[in-house]
Structure formats: structure tokens, C-alpha cells
Amino acid sequence: MGLFSNKKIIILVVITIILIGLVGGTYAFFTSSKTNSGNIVGSTYNSNFGIEVFEVQKSTSLIPLSDDLVTTAITKTDNKCLDNDGQQICSLYKLDVVNNGSPIKLQGFIRTSTSTYTSNNLKYMVYTSNGNQFTPVTDTLTLTHGSGDTVYFKKDSNNYVTNMSDGTNSPQKITYYIVFWISEVEGDQNEDQSKSFDCKVGFESIYGDKLTSTFVVST
């Protein structure tokens, strides 16, 4: 039996993730400045960071995927997020975070706008990569459904922090990969069909600066 083939439970799911105005386009930057505030008393802090998203595998008809096979699904040389039968098992996006200002610490998050989901099976995970070697930087995270619910990037149950060095003279960039999938569970998964989930992905600094962009997820 192939690694991803011959699944007993198949549900057709459409997940469309749209980063409005930013997919493969120009960086959207958040710019602000602060003086004599909080932990930076006596100094001037200049924030100028942005994000851009690229589609690696935009799936439109997902079948459930076992959580422990997600890394394998995205590290394949070809046909990432497809099983041995060509069925779509996840959606994968490349996310560039760029700093043109002072050194900054950022916390990534996904924030729910609206959702008709009732299950806890819609998941996401964040990775870095070196060539085709993907390393998870977060735990497997469950997307929640209440308006305003925020699921921060977390590793070992602690918020994962993106440390950006000084980009004033030369822009600093860190690349992440975000994967979305429907977690395979024992039993009927009909509750995951015909659902919708709208959310924002973003980063915020310890100084309160924040940049978000909208994702639309439909099943």
C-alpha cells in the first residue's frame, strides 16, 4: 500500500486561501515609530515590516490527512500535498516576512473572522526550509471558529517568536511555509463538508505594531 493511497474515508473539500492583494505581489508594509515607550525608554523605535504570500500548492478538493504525515506530504520533491493517486491532501503556501526597520520581534497568528465549522479538524502548521528539508517551527495547531479567536504560532505550547535583525541598511527576510489540512480521524467526517472559514493571518510586534491580511477558507 502506498504511503497516501487507498484511504477509507474520502470527503471532498474545497479549501481556497486568498491573501487579498498580496499573493505574489508587492510587500504590504506596516510603518510606525515610537519614542520613550515601554521597554524602549530613551530611544526611538522605527517599525517597518511586511509580508508576502506565494501559492505552492493551492488545493481545491481535499481529503483528510493524518497529522503525522503532513511533513512527508510537503517534503516530496514533486507533487507536494498530493497523495499517490493524485488526490489533494493539503494546501501549502510560502510566506516571506521582511524587515526594513529596526530589529524587531514578531509573533505570527491566524485570527478567525467567521466560521461555520463545528469540528476541530481544520489544522495548520508553520515550517522553515533548507532546500527540500522542511523543519516545523510550530506545533500542530487547531483553527477555532469564534469571531476574533486568535491562534498564535506556538512551539511546545509557547508563542513562537520571529526575530528580525536590523533591516535599516539592508532588508532582512525570513521565509516560512504554512500548510493547511483536514485532520484524519477515526469515524465519520461528514461534519467537515460544506463549511466555510474566513480568517486573517498576521504578525504583531511586542510594541503593538500589527500587520494582517485576509485568508478565505471554504470547504
Where do the structural domains in the chain lie, given as residue ranges? Answer: 28-218
Residue-wise pLDDT tens digits, 203-214: 887 666 555 444
Q: Is residue 212 within 8 Å of residue 200, measured between CB atoms?
A: yes
Q: Which CATH number fits domain 28-218: 1.10.3470, 3.30.70, 2.60.120, 3.40.50?
A: 2.60.120
| Cβ neighbours of 123 (radius 10 Å) | 20
Residue-wise pLDDT tens digits, 15-53: 344 443 333 445 555 565 554 444 433 345 567 788 887
201 Cβ partners below 8 Å, 6+ apart?
A: 19, 51, 53, 95, 108, 109, 110, 111, 178, 212, 213, 215
Partners of 173 in beta bridges? 98
Give the integer Cα–Cα distance in Å for 191 and 41: 52
Give the integer Cα–Cα distance in Å for 47 and 106: 11
Residue-wise pLDDT tens digits, 161-194: 999 999 889 999 999 999 989 899 887 888 887 7
Q: Is residue 25 within 8 Å of residue 219, measured between CB atoms?
A: no
